């Protein structure tokens, strides 16, 4: 039954984008680290493979654009909820054009497109945490108040609360949803502080799953037919302690996905896809 806020985690489609060679040298990063491009390609391929084969999603693969070194991180270019897609205005100037291709792809999926035309607004999808009942928007280096307002206007059904992001790139650099009403959160002080704020701002109660590593807190939750709760999370190789925590989730189908290379350019698991539920459309 179609309905407001029904089926959190239900997805049918995913939009991904290839890795340009320029990523190795030109992609934005907070720490100057060398990226193994080939490894990154392999990593991304397996990521897409999980979505496509293992989980059975319709994956729309957009071609990489060499002039957009960060274009693989499609999450920042669009926020999709229900049948509405907000095409963002990324905070980094060099990434603004990433939205163009994304817009076309989402349009092709018959989503209602809302564009962020206000030149004072910036918003990265990585700063948007949708819990199923409401949005939290991190106010970070990449996302500002105006961007959050436009998001709130695009998704009128939901409360949109702002959360200051004092450290880290994005809000979702240290948190994400691990299930309905379950927030996975890093254990750093800024992460815990942000969680407190989110809990205070919300009319709903959230359980939390604290993982030792902030970056490991970024995982992908889905609720898929015949599979139930699915969680894509970090591997033991990357974050052994955090991986153990995820293993406590007995009800989830746990799928460790390696992200060792992309993380070097501040890419997390959620960054590499835009998930869409076409059936949710009423």
Partner 1 sequence: MTTEVGSETEVKEKAEESAAQPDQSEKAAEENAEVANAEGEEKDKEKEKDGKEGKGIARYLPTWLKKQKSQSQTSPTKEVPPTEEAVNKVTQEEEGPAPEVNGHAEEVDEKEAVKSEQVKEKEAESHSNASADTEPAKEEKVEESAEKSTEEAKVTTEGEGEEEQKEQRGKEEEEEGVGGGGEGQTSIFQSPLRLVRKTKMKLVVCHVNLLDGTDFTCEVEKRAKGQYLFFKVCEHLNLLEKDYFGLTYTDTHEQKCWLDPTKEIKRQIRSNNWQFAFNVKFYPPDPSLLTEDITRYLLCLQLREDVASGRLPCSFVTHALLGSYTLQAEFGDYEPDQPRPLDYISQRTFAPNQNKEMEEKILELHKSHRGMTPAQADAQFLENAKKLSMYGVDLHHAKDSEGVDIMLGVCANGLLVYKDRLRINRFAWPKILKISYKRNNFYIKIRPGETEQFESTVGFKLQNHRSAKRLWKVCVENHSFFRLNAPEPPTKARFLTLGSKFRYSGRTQAQTRVASSLIDRPAPNFERTSSKRISRSLDGAPVISITEAGTAENGREFHSDSKKVKEVDLSPGDAEATPTQSLGASEPAPAQDHDKTQEEVLKHQASISQLKRSFMEAPPPSPPQPNQWEKRLTSSPATTIRVQQHQVSLEEEIASVLFSRHSGTGFSLAAASACSIPKPTLDDVITTCSSTSTAVCGPATLSAEVSEPQTEAAADDNTISDTKEPTKPPVVKTEMVTISDTFAAQKTEIATKEVPIVHTETKTITYEAAQLDGNGDGEPGVLMTAQTITSESLCTTTTTHITKTLKGGLSETRIEKRIVITGDCDIDHDEALAQAIKEAKEQHPDMSVTRVVVHKETELEEED
Catalytic residue (choose from 175, 219, 234, 271): 271
Residue 258: closest CA among 230, 234, 279: 234
Eight-state DSSP code of residue 61:
E
Residue 8: closest CA among 160, 222, 161, 182: 222
* Closest CB 5 distance from partner 1, rounded Å: 5
* Closest CB 172 distance from partner 1, rounded Å: 18
Mark whether 271 is an active-site residue: yes
* β-pairing verdict for 58-62 and 13-17: parallel
CA distance 34 to 11: 34
Q: Is 118 annotated as a binding residue?
A: no
Q: Which is nearer to partner 1, 223 or 281 (CB)?
A: 281
Mark whether 44 is an active-site residue: no
Q: Is 70 annotated as a binding residue?
A: yes
For the sheet with 58-62, list strands across it.
58-62, 13-17, 274-276
Q: Is 76 annotated as a binding residue?
A: yes
Q: Is 15 annotated as a binding residue?
A: no
* Closest CB 166 distance from partner 1, rounded Å: 16
* Closest CB 272 distance from partner 1, rounded Å: 27
CA distance 170 to 194: 12
CA distance 143 to 123: 4
Site residues (vs partner 1, CB under 8 A): 2-5, 82-84, 112, 133-134, 137, 145, 148-149, 152-153, 155-162, 200-203, 205, 281-282
Q: Which token pair is 112?
A: 């209602």
Q: Is 251 annotated as a binding residue?
A: no
Q: Which token pair is 107?
A: 């349009």
Q: Which is nearer to partner 1, 189 or 247 (CB)?
A: 189
* Closest CB 7 distance from partner 1, rounded Å: 13
112 burial level (CB within 10 Å; 0-12, 13-18, 19+): middle
Q: Which is nearer to partner 1, 160 or 220 (CB)?
A: 160
Q: Which is nearer to partner 1, 64 or 129 (CB)?
A: 129
Catalytic residue (choose from 170, 229, 233, 252): 170
194 φ, ψ (degrees, to nearest 5): -65, -40
Q: Which is nearer to partner 1, 231 or 280 (CB)?
A: 280
Q: Which residues contact 144 (CB under 8 A, 6 or more apart)?
A: 91, 120, 121, 122, 123
Helix (H, G, I), strand (E, B) or coil at 14: strand
Q: Which token pair is 177?
A: 């949803």
What residue numbers does the annotated binding site for substrate cover?
28, 70, 75-76, 95, 142, 265
Active-site positions read 170, 271
């Amino acid at each position: 039954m179609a309905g407001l806020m029904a089926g959190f985690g239900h997805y049918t489609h995913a939009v991904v984008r290839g890795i340009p060679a320029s990523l190795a040298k030109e992609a934005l990063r907070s720490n100057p680290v060398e990226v193994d491009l080939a490894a990154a390609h392999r990593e991304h391929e397996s990521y897409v493979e999980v979505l496509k084969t293992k989980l059975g999603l319709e994956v729309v693969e957009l071609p990489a654009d060499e002039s957009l070194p960060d274009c693989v991180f499609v999450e920042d270019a669009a926020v999709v909820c229900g049948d509405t897609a907000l095409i963002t205005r990324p905070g980094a100037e060099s990434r603004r054009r990433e939205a163009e291709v994304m817009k076309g792809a989402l349009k092709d999926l018959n989503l209602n497109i809302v564009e962020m035309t206000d030149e004072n607004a910036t918003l990265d999808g990585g700063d948007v945490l949708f819990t199923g009942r409401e949005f939290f928007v991190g106010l970070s280096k990449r996302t500002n108040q105006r961007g959050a307002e436009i998001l709130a206007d695009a998704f009128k059904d939901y409360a949109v609360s702002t959360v200051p992001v004092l450290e880290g790139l994005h809000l979702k650099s240290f948190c994400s949803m691990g299930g309905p009403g379950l927030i996975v959160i890093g254990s750093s002080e800024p992460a815990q502080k942000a969680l407190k704020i989110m809990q205070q701002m919300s009319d709903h109660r959230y359980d939390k799953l604290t993982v030792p590593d902030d970056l490991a807190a970024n995982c992908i939750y889905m609720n898929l037919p015949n599979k139930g709760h699915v969680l894509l999370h970090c591997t033991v190789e990357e974050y052994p302690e955090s991986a153990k925590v995820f293993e406590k989730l007995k009800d989830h189908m746990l799928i460790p996905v390696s992200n060792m290379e992309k993380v070097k350019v501040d890419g997390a698991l959620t960054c590499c896809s835009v998930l869409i539920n076409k059936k949710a459309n009423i």
